[in-house]
């Protein structure tokens, strides 16, 4: 038997109050940890997504929407950019690279990014860290697809699989199913390693593949809407007219965004050049120009103000749980004055009794903090899955260890502090007066 | 009044009180010029309820602070030491038995008996062995039962075991028979006295029950030491 036995028996003797107090601390710790971890993960997830892109051009309503759609695949952009506009922008400045992209198709809710073949070897989702293959190879031909790690995991895709894309980006998990491009199955030729960004849940194919499919569908629709006589006359021409890249016209070559990178020299600051090109491009009112890094910074600043409110609420909950520890321990101490007096008669010093009281509240804090961490792990996982589904962001699922350490230390320290007053009451217990028989 | 013992005899006395003064305001004053219990001696401290018996016991146990005097137990003055040292001395040299036993609820019989040994830092194995031995000597057959499940008689035996397990120089029993019928009362006193003999401890029992006077060779009336309604 040790002093800890006394503490544990004391907690057991008022098990309901102990469990409720531990639960309060656990909820407060879990809430704080999930908020802090999600905050860190969100910041990281956004930071990771934009990579080495300097500017993004689209026809979206605002620069932030352009970035969320074009780089985080929140939604399919509603308005396309014409081939002429792409050419004009590409030739308007000696860019290091330009990567036109088209979003609009999906595979079982995962977005399909149609881009030039060099996209996966040119664009780096994290600066300095390009895409790398876990399986297979990069795109070489049309109607091939390379699958992001999360998409491959979710849909069980491996190299060699044949898949059909769906027109439209449906919300993952929803029942909405668009028109399936069954005429042109895609072959999975590669699976990417995880990057920790939104690109992990995308599938990548060539622009020409997407253009061909949509061109065929568009022509078929036009053919169906022609008058019957005319339709018969052109039957020969349109008889399931499969077209290839050479048949594409400018009307087919639509994109939804252009990723741009300015030429840079190692060690030099490109921000002035980026700003200059940004200003030049935004004079064109038919397009929306965004500096992804800047937009994400603004978004995080807005979100940051809100999530600090949540963090503050978490701290308030933690403090109120400490107050509940104080009340629970103080009221139980009133009932245990006799026990304290008996311990003193048996040779326990006042200081030892004080430490027993303090240990009791600290133990409640520690148990609550540990339980809170466990809840937070589950909570982060759930929040991450929910955000991936609702917002389309790939978040880290783990609890941030530094935040966990801080919150656990804070919870235990607060609990210990809450135990000081009850422990001091125990310390000051007048032994003789509490040994008398109860009337 | 007993003669003042020599330095040598004090060292082996169960209890020696010298020049003890204590008062509650102007209403109650206690003065013990000299009181000695030889090692192993058993004394009844008699007196009606509220006459100051418990106050004297609490002073002897170092739970109340006297205005003057010394209280030497097993050769060590408990008034001369303070704080944790006094608590430790109390744990080593004094065993206490209460009218309502004051056992720790939620603990087993053996855990209650181990408690004073734990406070003295006795090793776990030795502590357990000594507690079991003490309970066995007193006829407790369910040492691992929660004390709340034991009969009143067994609870009292557990309290006696707890008071004597450390091998104290002095056992203080505060009205141990107050809530018992005469038959049970005699049996309880017999158990306490026998346990103290086994432990080699002196015994100071307080009681307002006049029938106990015949059980003890030496009876002291607390009213010898007490003045009520003092107006300085």
Rounded CA separation A54/A56 (Å):
7
For residue B98, give how far its alpha carbon lies from the nearest alpha carbon of chain A (Å): 8
pLDDT in the model for residue A395: 63
**Among A2, A1, A3, residue whose Cα is nearest residue A351:** A3
Higher pLDDT, residue A225 or A237: A225
Higher pLDDT, residue A191 or B226: A191
Mutate which: B119, B165, B206, vs A, most A CBs within 10 A:
B119
Q: Are the beta carbons of A342 and B119 separated by less than 8 Å?
A: no
pLDDT in the model for residue B202: 93
Q: Are the beta carbons of B115 and A346 separated by less than 8 Å?
A: yes
Tell me: ipTM over 0.85: yes
Mutate which: A14, A347, A356, vs B, most B CBs within 10 A:
A347
3-state secondary structure chain B: CCCCCCHHHHHHCCEEEEEEEEEECCCEEEEEEEEEECCCCEEEEECCCCCCHHHHHHHHCCCCCCCEEEEEECCEECCCCCHHHHHHHHHHHEEEEECCCCCCCCCEHHHHHHHHHHHCCCCHHHHHHHHHHHHHHCCCCCCCCEHHHCCHHHHHHHHHHHHHCCCCCEEEEECCCCCCCHHHHHHHHHHHHHHHHHHCCEEEEEECCHHHHHHCCEEEEHHHCEEECCCC
Contact B37, B204 (CB under 8 A): yes
For residue A411, give how far its alpha carbon lies from the nearest alpha carbon of chain B (Å): 29
For residue B38, give how far its alpha carbon lies from the nearest alpha carbon of chain A (Å): 23
Computed over every residue of chain A, the mean pLDDT equals 84
Average pLDDT of B212-229? 83
Write out the DSSP string of A366-404: HHHHHHHHHHHHHHHHHHHHHHHHHT------SPPHHHH
In total, the C-beta contacts within 8 angstroms joining chain A to chain B are 78
Range scoring the smallest mean pLDDT among A60-64, A252-256, B47-51: B47-51
Mark which residues 317-356 of A lie under 8 Å from B by CB.
338-339, 341-352
pLDDT at A347 over 70: yes
- What residue ranges do the domains of chain A occupy? 3-45+298-434, 55-290
pLDDT at B19 over 80: yes
Tell me the Ramachandran region of residue B106: left when phi exceeds 0, alpha when psi lies from -120 to 50, beta otherwise.
left
Q: Are the beta carbons of A346 and B105 separated by less than 8 Å?
A: no
**Nearest-Cα residue of chain A relative to residue B176:** A437
pLDDT at B86 over 80: yes
Question: Which domains, and CATH codes, for chain B?
Answer: 39-65+82-220 (3.40.50.300)
Report residue B196's pLDDT band, with 50, 70 and 90 as the boundaries.
very high
Average pLDDT of B176-195? 84
- A295 CB contacts (<8 Å, ≥6 apart)? A63, A64, A66, A67
For residue A369, give how far its alpha carbon lies from the nearest alpha carbon of chain B (Å): 27
Centroid of chain to Cα B111: 20
Q: Are the beta carbons of A435 and B116 separated by less than 8 Å?
A: no
Q: Are the beta carbons of B87 and A349 separated by less than 8 Å?
A: yes
pLDDT in the model for residue A297: 84
pLDDT at A382 over 80: yes
Q: pLDDT by residue (tens digit) across A155-206?
A: 999 999 999 888 765 544 444 556 676 778 899 999 999 887 888 889 999 9
pLDDT in the model for residue A230: 54
Higher pLDDT, residue A192 or A310: A192
């Amino acid at each position: 038997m040790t002093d800890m036995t006394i503490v544990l028996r004391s907690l057991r003797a008022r098990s309901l109050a102990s469990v409720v107090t531990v639960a309060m601390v656990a909820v407060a710790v879990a809430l704080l940890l999930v908020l802090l971890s999600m905050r860190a993960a969100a910041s990281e997830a956004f930071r990771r997504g934009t990579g080495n892109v300097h500017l993004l051009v689209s026809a979206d309503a605002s620069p932030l929407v352009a970035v969320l759609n074009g780089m985080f695949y929140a939604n399919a952009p509603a308005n396309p950019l014409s081939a002429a506009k792409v050419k004009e922008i590409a030739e308007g400045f000696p860019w290091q690279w330009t990567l036109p992209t088209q979003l609009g198709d999906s595979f079982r809710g995962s977005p399909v990014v149609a881009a030039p073949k060099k996209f996966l070897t040119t664009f780096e989702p994290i600066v300095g860290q390009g895409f790398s293959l876990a399986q297979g190879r990069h795109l070489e031909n049309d109607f091939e697809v390379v699958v992001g790690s999360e998409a491959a995991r979710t849909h069980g895709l491996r190299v060699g699989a044949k898949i059909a894309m769906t027109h439209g980006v449906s919300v993952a998990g929803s029942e909405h199913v668009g028109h399936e491009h069954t005429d042109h199955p895609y072959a999975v030729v590669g699976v990417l390693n995880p990057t920790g960004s939104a690109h992990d849940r995308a599938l990548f194919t060539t622009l020409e593949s997407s253009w061909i499919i949509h061109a065929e569908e568009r022509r078929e629709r036009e053919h169906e809407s022609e008058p019957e006589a005319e339709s018969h006359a052109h039957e020969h021409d349109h008889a399931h007219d499969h077209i290839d890249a050479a048949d594409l016209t400018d009307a087919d070559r639509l994109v939804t965004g252009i990723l741009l990178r300015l030429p840079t020299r190692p060690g030099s600051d490109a921000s002035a050049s980026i700003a200059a090109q940004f200003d030049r491009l935004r004079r064109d009112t038919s397009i929306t120009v965004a500096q992804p890094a800047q937009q994400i910074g603004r978004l995080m600043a807005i979100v940051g103000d809100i999530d600090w409110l949540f963090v503050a609420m978490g701290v308030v909950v933690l403090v109120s749980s400490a107050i509940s520890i104080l009340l629970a321990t103080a009221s139980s101490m009133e009932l245990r004055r006799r026990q304290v007096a008996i311990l003193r008669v048996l040779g326990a010093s006042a200081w030892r009794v004080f430490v027993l009281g303090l240990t009791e509240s600290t133990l409640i804090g520690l148990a609550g903090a540990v339980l809170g961490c466990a809840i937070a792990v589950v909570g982060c996982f759930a929040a991450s899955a929910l955000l991936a589904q609702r917002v389309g962001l790939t978040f880290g699922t783990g609890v941030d260890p530094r935040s966990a350490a801080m919150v656990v230390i804070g919870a235990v320290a607060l609990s210990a502090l809450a135990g000081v007053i009850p422990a001091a009451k125990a310390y000051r217990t007048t032994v003789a007066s509490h040994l008398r028989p109860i009337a | 009044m007993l003669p003042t013992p020599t330095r040598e005899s004090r060292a082996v006395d169960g209890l020696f009180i010298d020049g003890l003064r204590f008062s509650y305001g102007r209403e109650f004053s206690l003065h013990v010029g000299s009181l000695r219990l030889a090692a192993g001696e058993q004394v009844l401290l008699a007196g009606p309820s509220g006459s100051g018996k418990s106050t004297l016991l609490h002073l002897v146990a170092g739970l109340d602070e006297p205005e003057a005097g010394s209280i030497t137990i097993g050769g060590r003055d408990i008034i001369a030491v303070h704080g944790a040292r006094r608590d430790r001395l109390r744990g080593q040299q004094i065993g206490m038995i209460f009218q309502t036993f004051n056992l720790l609820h939620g603990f087993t019989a053996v855990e209650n008996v181990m408690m004073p040994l734990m406070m003295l830092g006795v090793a776990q194995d030795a502590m357990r062995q000594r507690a079991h031995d003490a309970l066995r000597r007193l006829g407790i057959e369910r040492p691992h039962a929660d004390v709340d499940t034991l009969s009143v008689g067994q609870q009292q035996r557990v309290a006696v075991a707890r008071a004597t397990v450390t091998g104290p120089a002095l056992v203080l029993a505060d009205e141990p028979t107050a809530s018992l019928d005469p038959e049970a009362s005699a049996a309880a006193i017999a158990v306490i006295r026998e346990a103290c003999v086994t432990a080699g401890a002196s015994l100071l029992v307080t009681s307002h029950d006049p029938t106990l006077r015949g059980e003890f060779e030496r009876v002291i009336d607390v009213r010898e030491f007490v003045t009520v309604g003092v107006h300085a």
